[in-house]
Structure 1
Amino acid sequence: MNTNALSMSARGQARRAARSRALDVGARAGFVARGVIYLLVGILALRIGFSDGGGKQADRGGAIAEIAEKPFGNVLLWALGIALAGMALWRLSEAAFGQAGPDGDKATKRAMAAGRFVFYAFVSYSVISYAAGDKGSGSGSSDKQTDDVTARALEWPGGPWIVGIAGAVVAGAGLWIAFRALARKYHKHLKMAEMSKRVRQAVDVVGVFGGTVRGVVFATAGGFAIAAAVQHEPGRAKGMDDTLRSFAETPAGPWLLVLVALGLAAFGLFSWANARWRKV
């Protein structure tokens, strides 16, 4: 066997190892955990839409704090953090060995997988740190964190340009997410043939609705960052909680926020569908 054949065989073995049963379980557990977070954020946003939310934050920190208050909440947080670590490892394997599917080896897809690995690794770390006793980790206000980061960035040379470009990237990503949801691009990632007709219809409802709303929220947050850069006012940038509350300040009033909240909850259900039918 020549050197090239040995190299190909080694890569094949590495790819199979990367897509082992353990990573499959980790990825699906991660989708379940992501679904829990989005479902809770949607519920918290609904509370804000119908009242003042009782001081709760409609963001990841609020979701973590909500879980911590429940019976066996700390155990649930450990499980959530470990599941998100499984998601991060799966994304890392995609970055290293490519995704499932015929075009999974594309450099752009690997780069996106690497970015998702960094994101889920950070979220997993923050949840586990909170469960381990660092109450300042994970549950902090996304709005305050956004204000602090934006204020520091605006002080840098070319800071407004940096913040503006970052906002444009987030807004563009949001529009891209919404477009992919509306175009049902997720079909190629799911085992649609294994679903009954009724299940496919339900998955499309939560996938299109939830994905579109998620994209709109990202695009809106990006727009606020651009406004902060143009006006050189860090307070114009908004985290998840303030971004969601801004929907209630439109002429549609709290009903638009209620619609967005239902969309985020729908995306949580769509994440659970991914846990069952995703091609890993």
Structure 2
Amino acid sequence: MIIDTHLHLIYRQRLSYPWLADVPPLNADFTYETYAREARRLGILAALHMEVDVAEADIEAETVMVEELGKAPGSLLVGAIAACRPESPDFPAYLDRVRANPFVRGFRRVLHVVPDELSEGPLFRENIRRLGGTGLNFDLCVLPHQIEKAIALADLAPDVSFVLDHCGVPDVKSGGYDAWKGPVAEIARRPNVTVKLSGLPAYGAENWTLEDMKPYFAHVVESFGFSRMVWGSDWPVCTLGGGLSTWVGATQALLSGVSPDDTTRVLAGNARRLWKLA
């Protein structure tokens, strides 16, 4: 069984996605039905929806839409990682509303599209600390040179569980291993941080191979181990680097030789524990 912890759905008639205009290959509808058809063939039996950086006014509407899709009979959707604005004084009230909804399993604020100093603001940090004790995790989406900002958040809120998206966004295409490996090893020293094996296909060259991915996979294994690693498709962004089937196949190849217990942890067990899934 595979639990996909990083699924994006795009419904342009229902929500506004300001960033899509700058990424023509993704400026289209990517529906649950399209994803589920392929996912079921690959052994993906559950999925968490990851917020898609919708317009701020649509943040809560996105959660409502995804929850509707999750209520359909036989739906793969078991929860949502919702967008948030920890820099806003309205965050505490938003958190209270979200805590009342068990479908929401965590939060994300994409940090590589905002000024670096945003996450250093006292209000942002105070609101991140509010997640302690709520059972809601926080996904960190940062570039390698910003991982130090993510480390600061993890240190400021040691009782909050953080997830480092996309293995820390290495620049696989341009050979960014050396600039990435040190910051990843450093953030892995924080026991409250889990790494997400996701995103790599989109960062590789158009003709990337498994050999290109192996050093990055080996380093996150060395840094985090298999007990602090979860898997995500990053669909439909993964279509920029081959698609869902290609990424699942590459993942299985990377995990070849890994013990059955550790493989199960990466593909499903750790996700169950981290997001309290049935």
- State TM-score, norm by structure 2: 0.28
Q: Which has the higher strand share?
A: 2
Q: Which has the higher helix share?
A: 1
For the pair shown, the structure with the greater C-alpha radius of gyration is 1
Higher relative CO (Cα under 8 Å, sequence separation at least 6) belongs to 1
